[in-house]
Amino acid sequence: MELVLAGLVGFLVAGGAYLMMSGQLIRFLFGLVLLSNAANLAIFAAGRLTYATPPFVLSGQAAPAAGVANALPQALILTAIVIGFGLLAFALALAFRAWQALGTTEMDAMRACEPVNLTVGKKDEIGLDGPQAYARKEREAAE
Amino acid sequence: MKLLIQIYGIVNLAIYFLYELFVSSLRVAWDVLTPDMKARPTFIVMPLDAKTDVELMLTANIISLTPGTLSIDLNADRTELLIHSMFGADNPDGEIAAMKQGIERRVLRATRGVNL
Amino acid sequence: MNSTILKTATRVLLPIFLIASVLILLRGHNQPGGGFIGGLMAVIGVALYAIASSVDEARKRLIVDPLVLAGIGLACSVLGGLWGAANGGAFLEGVWPFYEYVPGEGAKGWPIGSVLLFDAGVYLTVLGAVCAILFALEEAVYTDKEGRS
Amino acid sequence: MSLADWIAAILLVGGGFFAFIASLGVVRMQDVYIRMHASTKAGTLGVGMIAAAVAMTASGEGVVKEIAIILFLLFTAPIGAHLIARAAFQSRVPVFTAGEAESAQESFLCENQAEAAPPSPAE
Amino acid sequence: MPRPLTLLPAVLSALAANWFAGFIPQIAAGQALTWSRPWIPGAGIEFAFLLDGLSLLFALMVTGIGAIIFLYSAVYFKGHPKLTMLLILLSLFAISMLGLVLADDAITLFVFWEGTTITSFLLVGFDHEKEKARDNALQALIVTGLGGLALLAGLILLGAEMGTFRLSEMNAQGELIKASALYLPILILVFLGAFTKSAQFPFHFWLPGAMAAPTPVSAYLHSATMVKAGIYLLARLTPALGGTEVWFWTLTIVGAVTMVWTSILALKQTDLKLMLAYTTVMALGALTMFLGGGTRYAAMSVAVFLVVHALYKAALFLTVGLIDKGTGSREVNQLGGLARAMPVTMVIAMLAALSMAGFPPFIGFIGKELIYEASLGVVTEPLFVATAALLANANMVAAAGLVAVAPFFGKQCQTPKPPADPTPWLWIGPGLLAVLGLTFGVMPSLIDSSIVTPVVQSIIPGEEPVELKIWHGVNLPLMLSLLTFGLGFALFYGRGQIRSSLQSDNFTGGLDANGTYFLWLKAFKSFAAWTARTVQGGQMTVYLRTAFVVLGLLIWGAHLASRDVFEAPTEFPDLIPLTISALIAVSAAVVLRTASRLYGLTALGVVGAGVAILFVFYSAIDVAITQLLVEMLVVLILAVALVKLPKMPREVNFRAGDAVIASALGLGVAFVLASVTSKPFDPRITEFFNAASYPEAFGRNVVNVILVDFRALDTLGEVAVVLIAAISAVAALTAGKRALATKRGGNK
Amino acid sequence: MIETLSEVLLETRQQGPLAVAVMFAFVMVTAALVMTTYRLLKGPTLPDRVVALDLISILLVAILTLFALSSQVETYLDAALVLALVAFLGTVALARFILRTGRSYAQFNPSERED
Amino acid sequence: MSSGMLLVWPIALPMVTAVLTLVLRRSPTGNSVSLVGAVALLAAGVALLRHVLEFGPISAQMGSWAAPFGITLFADILSAAMVVIAGIVAVAVVIYSRQDVTEDERGVGFHALSHSLLVGVCGAFLTGDVFNLYVWFEVMLIASFGLLVIGGRRDQMDAAVKYVGLNLIATLAFLTGVGILYGAAGTLNMADLHLTLADRQNETAVLAAAAMLLFAFGAKAAMFPVFAWLPASYHTPAFATSALFAALLTKVGVYALLRVFTIVFDGSGGFLQPILLIGAVLTMVVGVLGAAAQNDVRRILSFHIISQIGYMVLGLALFTPLAIIGAIFYLFHHIIVKANLFFVAGVIRWKAGSEELDKIGGLLKASPLLAVLFLIPALSLAGVPPLSGFWAKFIIVQASLEARDWWVALAALAVGLITLFSMTKIWLAAFWKEHPDAEPAGMPVAPRSMIWPIATLAVMTVIIGIGAGPLYATAEEAAVTLLDPLAYVEVVLGSEAVAEARAAEQKDLQIAEVAQ
Ligand code: NA
Ligand code: NA
C-alpha cells in the first residue's frame, strides 16, 4: 500500500504543481490544497502504514499493544494539517483582496509592485492590471 | 395532562416518523429499481397551522423524510410551505390533507401538548 | 442565510456542538480528540450559527473578540508550559497536582494540570482564530463598498 | 453468533442495500429534486441501519455514540435537503415535471423574492 | 583673515609635520621605528605602523603640504557654505593618506588606501550640484575602486604566501614570494592597484576628470599625495616583489608609455588645471618607470623627483587657483599679460615653473639630471628609456612655459574678473613651496642624507646613494638637458599649431580610454538591466516555473547521485483502500481539468475526505478527524470567498511544458517515497512514546500525548501559527481599505 | 470465502455471518460512494453536485461506522460521530454558495458546462 | 528555574508580547508594551549569550523528555548571538515604527505580527529538531505574510501574492523533506540525525531530503534562482517592516542552511556541494546586477540582500573553517547594516517624498547627518574598510583564495565593486543631485524615533568594523560547533553517544583498512 500512496502522492504533487503554474489565482489555491494533502500523505507513508491499529493504551494496560501504528507521524501530520489550514485561509483572504485591489486573478497581469520596464524604472500604474482596475482608476479620477 | 399529551405526542411522532421513513425508503427503492418512471412530480403549496420556529422546522423536516414529499421552502410570512411531491400531481389537495393530518397534527401535539 | 428552518436548527445545534467540543477536549488525552479537534468542532458550531443568523449575531454570542479569545488561548498554552518550569521542571513539563500513576492499576485522581491548561489553550486559540478568519472573510465578501452588509 | 449479532448482520445488509439505493437514485433519477428524495430518505435510513447494527455489537459507550449518530443524521439530513432544494428552486434548476410545476415555481418565486445576491460585477 | 577655527586643520597639520620632521635625524641614522597593536589576531591582522625613510618622506609631504593646503583652502573658500565639510573631508583624507604611508601591515595599508579612495570620491564631487562633477567622482571611484579590489586580492595572496601581513617581514623574505607559483598573479594584482591609483596608462583617464574637484583639493590629492599612493606601494614592495624581469619590463613600459603619452596630452589642453593634471600623470609615469629600473640612480631619481614634484606641482596648482580666483578663468586662451596686475602670483609661478622645467639652480634640475643618469644606467634598454625621458621632459618644459609664461606675458586679455593679486594668506603657501624648490636646488645637502638616502635605502636596502650635486661637470645627462631645453622651447613656441593638430578628432582614435570607460559603463548598465529583466521580469508564472524546475532538478539529482537499489514490494494492496486512492486521484484530475469553481471545490472536498478515509484505514484516527473537520472548514471558506472571485478562465491550451515539469517533479517525489518505504524503519522514538505515554504522561491516546506533552513545543508553535494566520488574514481583509488604490503615503 | 474477501477487499476482524454482512455492506457503500462521486462530477447543475456531496458525507459516516465494526476498534466511532456532526456544514455552505452566486438555470442546457 | 529556561525565554517572551500587543492593538499602550517586549527579548538574548560564552553550548529538553525523544533547544555562540542581534533589530524596529507605521497598520496588529515574527526567528535559531524548525519557519512565514499586507495597498497585494505563492512552495518542500528524512532515519533530532545518517543507509531518501531542504532554505534565503519573491515585495510594506524582513528573514534561511548542512548532513551534501557553490556565486552576481539596474531605493537594497546572501552561502559552500567564519561574520554584520539601510530609506522617503531616484535629491544639503548615517551602512555593505562589511568580505575572499577557487574570489571582489556602484547610485541621486522640485530647507524634519535607531546601528557598524577582533574571535568560536558536529551531538545527547559514534567510526575505518 505504501507504493500506492507513493504513486498517489506523486500524482497529487504533479497535479498541484501544474495547477499552480497556471498563474491563475483560484487554480493556484486549488493546487496548494492538493500539494498540502500530498505532503501530509508523504509523511504518513514515510512513517510506514499499519492497518487498523490506532496507538491507544487500552484500559487495564500500561502501554499500547505490540504492533500499533506509529504515532509520531500522526502527530506531525496533525500539526501540518492545522498549519496548512492557517496558510490556506490566509492565502484565500489574500486572493480575495488581491482580486479586489488589482482587478484580476491572473498573476502575470499583477504588475503593481514590479514595474514593467526595469531599465526606465517608471511604475506602470495602468494598462497591465486588467480592465477592472483600469476602470476603477478612471472612476476614482472622475470622483 | 398537557405534559402527558406532549410525551405521548413525541413518542407517537417518533414511531410514526420511523415507520414513514422506512416506507418511504422502500418506495424510493422501488422507484429507483424499476426502469420506467410512473411518478408525476410536481410542486405543491401547503398552508400551515404550525407557527413557532420549532413547529415549522419539525413539520418541514418530517415531511422531507416521509414518502414522496420534500420540503423546499417557507414563504416569506411563514404561512405556506412549498413542497416537491412525487405523486401529488393527480390529487394535490388530498396530499396536502394527508400531510396536515399525518404530520403537522402530530407535530403540534408533540410541541403544544394539545390534542388537535 | 434567511431560512427559519436552519436558524431554528442552529439554535439547537450550537449548544450541542459546544458541549461536544468541550467533551472532546477533555477526553482527548485518552480518546480521540483534544484541543484541536475540540476547537474545530466548536468553530463549526459557531460557523453554522453565523451562517444561519449573521456574523454580528455570532460575534455577540462569542462575547469576546475572537482574536482576543485566540490570544487568551495562546497565553493559556504558554502558561501551561511555564507551569512546568515554575514547578522546578522544564518548560512544557507536565504537572499533575491531583493525579498519579499507580503501577498495575493505572492513573488515579483528577486529571487536571498543566497539560490540560495547555490543551485548553489550544482549544481556545483554534476557536478564536478560525472564527476570526471566518467572520472577517464573511464580512469582507458580503460587505459592499459603502460598508453595508 | 449471538442473536444481537444476527440482528446486526441483517441490519448491515439492509443498511448496505439502502445506501446503495440512495446513490443509485442520485445517479439514475431525472432531476435534482427527485434525486434528493432518494438521497435523503434512503441515505438516512441506510446509514441509520448500519449505525444501529454497530450499536447492537458495541459496548455501552459505543451504543451512545451510535444513537447520537442516528439522531443527528435524522435531524440534519432533512434540513440539508431543505437548503439544497431551496437553492435549487431559487436558481431555477430545470424540473422534471408533470405539468403545472412551472407555474407553481414562478408564483412562489414571485411571492418570495429570492435572497440570491445580484450577480457580482466580476461575473 | 579667515575664521580662526577654520585654521585649526592647518595648524594641526603643521604641528604634525614638525613632529615628523623631528624623526629625520633618527631615520637618517638608519633606524626604522615600528608600532603595532593586534587588530584581528585570529586572522593575523595587526594595526602596525613603520616609520622609515620612504614613509617619513611621504608623511612629511602629507602633513607639510597638507598644512599649506588647509591654510589655502580656509582662505580660498572663506564664507563658502560648504567650507566646514571641505575641511572635514580633507582632514579625513589626510588621516587616511598618513595611515597609508605609515602602515606596516598590508591590510592596515589597504584600509587606509580605501579611505583615500572614498574621501577622494567625496572631494571630487564637492560641487555635486553639477552633473559633471558627479560623473567624474563616480569615474574616479570606479577606477580606483577596481584597482583597490585587485590590490586586496593581491595582498591577501601575498599574506598567505608569506605567512604574514607585515610589510617589513615580507620585504625581508622577498625570495620566498619570487619563487612562488603565485608570484605573477600577485604581481599583476598589485600592479592593477598601483596603476589605477597612480593613473598609469591605460588607467590615466580618470585623473583629468577628477579635476572637477576644487583646486586646492586637486593640488593635494591629485598631485601631491594620493595619486602617489600607487608609487608609494610599488616602492614599498620593491624589496619583496621587485628585481625580476616582469617587474622591470612592466613598470618600464607602462611608465614610459604613460609619461610620453600624457605629456603629449598635456600640450593639447587649454585649461591650465587640466594641463597640470596631465603633467602630473607624466611625472607619475616617470616615477613608475624608474621604480622598474631598480638601480641606485633609479632609486635616487625616484626619491628626488618625489620631492621635486611635490614642491613645484602643488605650488603650480595653487597658483592656478590664484589665477582662477583673481581672473575668473583658467583658460590659456583667455589669459595673458597678467604680470602687471598679479606680480606676486607671477613670481611664484615662475619659480615653480623653472623647477618644473628643470632649470638650474632649482631642485628640478637635479631631478632631471638624475633622471637622465638613471635612464642611461638602465641595464637592458637604455636608449628606449632615455628617449622616452627626453620627450617627456621636453614637453614638461613647454608645459611649464604654458603655465608660468603664457598667462603673465604677451597681450593682455579680457578676463571675467579684473585681475589682482590675492591676499597674502593665499599666496604664502605656494610661495613657500616655490622658494623651497629653489632652496633645495641651491643646497641639495639639506635633503641629501636626511631624506633621499633613507628613501633609497627603503627601496633598495643596503644601497649607498651618491651625493646630490647641482653640477656634475659636462656629461651625457647635461647634454640631454640642453637638448631638452631646446626641444621644449621649440614646442612652447609652436604650441598653438601643436594644440590645434592635437585637438583634431582623429587624434585619439583607438586610445580613447575615457570613451572606452563610458562604453563599458553603458554596456554594464544594459547588461545589468537585461539580467534584472530576465530574472525578475514581474511574471509570476515564470517565477513559479523556475521554482518547480529547480525543485524537480534537485530531487532528480538526488536520484542520480544515489547508489540505492530499489526493491519493489510483492504484496498487492487491498481493493477498498485502492478504490479510495483511485477516487482521490480521479477527483484530483477533475480539479486539474475543470473550469468551474464549484466543481473544483467539491472535487477538492472529495480528495480531502478520501485522504481522511485512508488515514482511518491506517490507524490515524485523530488525524482523520482533524482532516475531516479542516476539510469542512476549507470548503466553507472557499465557498465564501469564491462567491466574489471571478470565474476561472477556461484553459484553452494544454500546457505541455508545465505538464512535463509537474510530472517530473511528481515522479521524482513518488520514487523517493517508494524508496524510503521499501527500507526497514527504525521505530525507537515511537517505542519510547508508546512506553511512556500512559505511565509517565498519563495519557492513553499516544498521538494526543505527543501533541501536548512529548512534542508540545511543536504544538505551541502551531497554535501560534493559527493565531498569526488569523491576525494576518483579518489584517488582509480589513486593513486600510481606503489605501487600496494608493501607494505608500506621502510626508506625514 | 471470508478469508479471500478479507484478503482482497479489506481485512476484517469479525467472523462468520457478521463478517459476510460487513463485507457486503462495505462493498455496497463503497460502490455507492463511487456512483455518487460520478454524480458529483457529472452535475449537471450546482445543486446536483451538492446533493451528491451531501450523500457522500453520509456514506463516509457509514464507512467509518462499518470500519469500527470490521476492525473491532471502537474508537473509530468517534470519527463517525464527528463527521456526522459536521458534515451538515458542508451542505449548508454549498447551498449558500449557490444562492450567493445568483446563478440562474432558467435557460439551462444540460450539455453546457458550468462554472 | 533552570538554565534551560534561558533557551525558552527568547521564544516565550515575544510570544507573550505578541499576545499582549494583540489585545492592546488599538490602544496606545500597545506601543510601549511592544518596546518593553523587544527590550526583554534583547535582555534574554544577552543573558543566553553570556551563559554560552562562559559555559559553552547548552541544550534543554522541552518537557524534560530526554533527547532524542523530546524536542531539544540548543544554543551555541552562533545561535545565541543571532538571538541577540534579532533582539537589537527588534528594539530598533519597534522604536522606528513609532512614526513610520500608521495608526491603521497598528490597529490591525503590526506589533503583534512583528513579535510573532520574532518568535519564529528565535525559535528557528534555537531549535535542535528539524520538524520543530519547520514549525518556527511557518510561524515566521505567516507573520511576515501579515506584515506584508497590513497596509492594504494594491502594490502590497500584488507583492504579497508573489511572496506568499513562492514561499508556500518552499514551505511544502520543507515539510515533505522532513517527512522523508523521518522515514529514512526514524528520528527528528538533529544530533540524533547526525549519528543516524552517518551509516549512509537509505541514500536516496537522505539525498532527496537534503535536496528538498536545500530548496526550502535556499528559497527562504533568496538564493538564485528562487529569490523572485524578495525583490517583488520588500519595497512595498512599511519601512520598519522592510527593515525587519531584510534583517532577519533571509538570514534565518542562511542560518538553517548553516546548521542543517553541517550537523544533519555532515557538511557534505554530497552532490549538493558544487550546486551550493555555483548557486552562491550566481546569487551574488545576479543579485548585484539586479541592484545595479534598479532606480528605486528599496528595490536596490532588496537586490543587494540577494547578493549578500550569496556571500554567506558561499562561506558554507567552500566549507573551510575560514569560510564558515566568514559566513558567520557576514551574517552578524549584514543584519545590522541591512536593517539600517532600510531605515535610512524610510527617512529618505520621509524627507524627499519618494523612493524613486529621479524624484528625490538635495538631501546632503537638507541633512548632512543623514548623509553620514547613510554612508556608514552603505559603505559597509559595499565592503569599504574599516567598516564591518569589509571584514566580512575580506574573510570570504581570503577563504576562496586559499581554497584556490579563483573565479569565486574574482566574483566576490567584482560584486563588491558593483555594490559600491549601486550604493553611489543612491548617494548621487538622493544626496548630491538637487531635488527636482523641493528645496532642501523646506523638507520635513525626520522624527527622532527614526533617527535614533539609525544612529545606533551605524555606531554599531563602525564599532564592529574598527573593533573587528572580538567579533572575529566570536565567529571563530561559533564556527566550532558547525565544523565539529560531534561537539554539537555531545551537548545534546551526552558524551556516551559521541564515544559510541567515534568507536563505530574507528571500526569502519579498520574494516576499510582490512578490506584494502
Ligand atoms: Na580621485
Ligand atoms: Na531578508
**Record: contact C86-G5, CB cut-off 8 A:** no
Which residues from D are below 8 Å from E646, CB to CB? 122-123
Distance G71 CA to ligand 2 centre (A): 27
- Taking residue A3's Cβ as centre, other Cβ atoms within 10 Å add up to 18
CA distance C130 to C143: 19
In the predicted model, residues of chain C with pLDDT beneath 70 are: 143-149
Q: Is G146 on the interface with A (CB under 8 A)?
A: yes
Q: Contacts for E82-88 with beta carbons within 8 Å, 24 or more apart?
A: E82/E126, E83/E6, E84/E6, E85/G368, E86/E123, E86/E126, E86/E214, E86/E217, E87/E6, E87/E9
Residue B116 scores a pLDDT above 80: no
Q: Give the per-residue pLDDT at G171.
A: 95
Grid coordinates belonging to G165? 505563492
Taking a C-beta distance cutoff of 8 angstroms, is the pair E3, E56 a contact? no
pLDDT tens, residue order, chain A (143 aa):
889 999 999 999 999 999 999 999 999 999 999 999 999 999 999 999 998 899 999 888 888 988 899 999 999 999 999 999 999 999 999 999 888 888 888 888 888 888 665 433 333 333 333 334 444 444 555 55
Tally the C-alpha atoms within 13 A of residue G172's C-alpha that lie toward its C-beta.
32
**Record: contact A97-C140, CB cut-off 8 A:** yes
* Least Cα separation, residue F29 to chain A (angstroms): 19
Q: Is F102 on the interface with C (CB under 8 A)?
A: no
The CA radius of gyration of chain B, in Å to the nearest whole number, is: 15
CA distance G401 to G413: 11
Query: Which residues of chain E from 123 to 182 reach within 8 Å of chain G, CB to CB?
Result: 125, 128-129, 131, 134, 138, 141-142, 145-146, 149-150, 152-153, 156-157, 160
Type of residue found at E242: G
Q: Is E643 on the interface with D (CB under 8 A)?
A: yes
Taking a C-beta distance cutoff of 8 angstroms, is the pair E677, A45 a contact? yes
DSSP E251-300: HHHHHHHHHHHHHHHHHH--BHHHHHHHHHHHHHHHHHHHHHH-SHHHHH
CA distance E701 to E680: 26
User: What pLDDT digit, counting tens, does each position of B90-111 carry?
Assistant: 777 888 888 888 888 888 888 8
Higher pLDDT, B115 or E298: E298
- Of the candidates C16, C31, C51, the beta carbon closest to that of F78 is on C31
**Record: contact C40-E716, CB cut-off 8 A:** no
Q: Give the per-residue pLDDT at E651.
A: 77
User: What pLDDT digit, counting tens, does each position of C76-86 carry?
Assistant: 999 999 999 99
Q: Give the per-residue pLDDT at F2.
A: 67
Which residues from C are below 8 Å from G19, CB to CB? 71-72, 74-75, 78
Query: Which residues of chain C from 101 to 140 reach within 8 Å of chain E, CB to CB?
Result: 101, 103, 106-107, 111, 115, 118-119, 121-122, 125-126, 128-130, 132-134, 136-140
**Record: contact E529-A119, CB cut-off 8 A:** yes
Alpha-carbon dihedral C82, C84, C85, C87, rounded to 10 degrees: 120
Q: Residue E46's beta-bridge partner residues?
A: E38
Supply the pTM of this predicted model.
Answer: 0.93
User: What pLDDT digit, counting tens, does each position of F5-58 carry?
Assistant: 767 777 777 778 888 888 899 899 989 988 998 888 787 888 888 899 889 989
- Of the candidates C2, C9, C12, the beta carbon closest to that of D115 is on C2
Grid coordinates belonging to G327? 559566513
Taking a C-beta distance cutoff of 8 angstroms, is the pair B23, D37 a contact? no
The CA radius of gyration of chain C, in Å to the nearest whole number, is: 19
Alpha-carbon dihedral A105, A107, A113, A115, rounded to 10 degrees: -120
CA distance F33 to F50: 14
- Taking residue E498's Cβ as centre, other Cβ atoms within 10 Å add up to 18
Type of residue found at A98: A
**Record: contact C91-G15, CB cut-off 8 A:** no
Confidence of residue D104 (pLDDT cuts 50, 70, 90): low
Which listed ligand is nearest to G331 at the C-alpha?
2
The secondary structure element, H or E, covering residue B74 is strand B69-74
**Record: contact E596-F78, CB cut-off 8 A:** no
Alpha-carbon dihedral E493, E497, E499, E500, rounded to 10 degrees: 160
Omega prior to F44 cis, within 30 of 0: yes
Q: Give the per-residue pLDDT at E662.
A: 97
Which residues from E are below 8 Å from A44, CB to CB? 614-615, 618, 620, 623
Taking a C-beta distance cutoff of 8 angstroms, is the pair G35, G95 a contact? yes
Distance G224 CA to ligand 2 centre (A): 14
Q: Give the per-residue pLDDT at A139.
A: 53
- Taking residue E146's Cβ as centre, other Cβ atoms within 10 Å add up to 18
CA distance G110 to G97: 9
Contact exists between F and E (3 or more beta carbon pairs < 8 Å): yes
Please name the residue of chain E whose CA is at the shortest distance from the CA of residue A90.
Answer: E729
**Record: contact C11-B53, CB cut-off 8 A:** yes
Distance G300 CA to ligand 2 centre (A): 13
Distance G252 CA to ligand 2 centre (A): 8
Query: Which position has the grid cell 470567498?
Result: E641
CA distance E148 to E159: 16
Cβ partners under 8 Å of residue E634, min gap 6:
A33, A85, A88, E604, E605, E608
Alpha-carbon dihedral G31, G32, G34, G40, rounded to 10 degrees: 170
pLDDT tens, residue order, chain G (516 aa):
467 899 999 999 999 999 999 999 999 999 999 999 999 999 999 999 999 999 999 999 999 999 899 999 999 999 999 999 999 999 999 999 999 998 888 989 999 999 999 999 999 999 999 999 999 999 999 999 999 999 888 888 989 999 999 999 999 999 999 999 999 999 999 999 999 887 777 889 999 999 999 999 999 999 999 999 999 999 999 999 999 999 999 999 999 999 999 999 875 557 888 999 999 999 999 999 999 999 999 999 999 999 999 999 999 999 999 999 999 999 999 999 999 999 999 999 999 999 999 999 999 999 999 999 999 999 999 999 999 999 999 999 999 999 999 999 999 999 999 999 989 999 999 999 999 988 888 899 999 999 999 999 999 999 999 989 999 999 999 998 888 888 999 999 998 888 888 888 788 778 877 876
Q: Is F47 on the interface with D (CB under 8 A)?
A: yes
Query: Which position has the grid cell 400531510?
Result: B99
Query: Closest by alpha carbon to B110, among B58, B33, B75?
Result: B58
- Of the candidates E603, E606, E616, the beta carbon closest to that of F79 is on E616
Distance E218 CA to ligand 1 centre (A): 9
* Least Cα separation, residue E543 to chain D (angstroms): 27
Q: Give the per-residue pLDDT at E511.
A: 55
Q: Residue E38's beta-bridge partner residues?
A: E46
Query: Which position has the grid cell 645637502?
Result: E445
Query: Closest by alpha carbon to A110, among E542, E739, E534?
Result: E542
* Least Cα separation, residue D79 to chain C (angstroms): 7
Q: Using DSSP bridges, classify how beta strands G72-75 and G58-61 pair: parallel, antiparallel or unpaired.
A: antiparallel
Please name the residue of chain E whose CA is at the shortest distance from the CA of residue A12.
Answer: E588
Q: Is E645 on the interface with F (CB under 8 A)?
A: no
- Provide the 3-class DSSP secondary structure of residue F34: helix
Q: Give the per-residue pLDDT at F19.
A: 86
Q: Residue G61's beta-bridge partner residues?
A: G72
Contact exists between A and B (3 or more beta carbon pairs < 8 Å): no
Q: Give the per-residue pLDDT at E369.
A: 87
- Span between the terminal Cα atoms of chain D, in Å: 62
Query: Closest by alpha carbon to G412, among C75, E152, A92, E19?
Result: E152
Q: Give the per-residue pLDDT at B36.
A: 67
Which listed ligand is nearest to G117 at the C-alpha?
2
Type of residue found at E637: I
Q: Give the per-residue pLDDT at B102.
A: 82
Taking a C-beta distance cutoff of 8 angstroms, is the pair G196, G209 a contact? no
Q: Is G147 on the interface with A (CB under 8 A)?
A: no
Distance E346 CA to ligand 1 centre (A): 29
Q: Contacts for G411-416 with beta carbons within 8 Å, 24 or more apart?
A: G411/G281, G411/G284, G411/G285, G412/G284, G412/G311, G412/G314, G413/E149, G413/E150, G413/E152, G413/E153, G414/E149, G414/G285, G415/G284, G415/G285, G415/G287, G415/G288, G415/G307, G415/G310, G415/G311, G416/E149, G416/G382, G416/G383
Q: Residue G134's beta-bridge partner residues?
A: none
Grid coordinates belonging to G134? 519547520
**Record: contact D20-F55, CB cut-off 8 A:** no
Grid coordinates belonging to G336? 545590522
**Taking chain E (748 residues) in consecutive chunks of 10 residues, what is each chunk's mean pLDDT?**
87 96 93 93 93 95 95 92 93 96 96 95 93 92 93 95 93 90 95 94 87 90 89 94 91 91 84 90 91 86 91 92 88 85 91 90 88 82 85 88 86 83 89 92 88 90 80 81 89 82 59 79 91 88 95 95 80 85 92 85 88 92 93 89 82 88 97 92 93 92 94 96 95 68 38
Q: Is G64 on the interface with C (CB under 8 A)?
A: yes
Distance G305 CA to ligand 2 centre (A): 7
Q: Give the per-residue pLDDT at D113.
A: 44
User: What pLDDT digit, counting tens, does each position of E727-746 carry?
Assistant: 999 999 987 554 444 444 43
Query: Which position has the grid cell 552578524?
Result: G332
Distance E140 CA to ligand 1 centre (A): 5
Taking a C-beta distance cutoff of 8 angstroms, is the pair E101, G371 a contact? no
Q: Is C23 on the interface with F (CB under 8 A)?
A: no
CA distance G185 to G197: 7
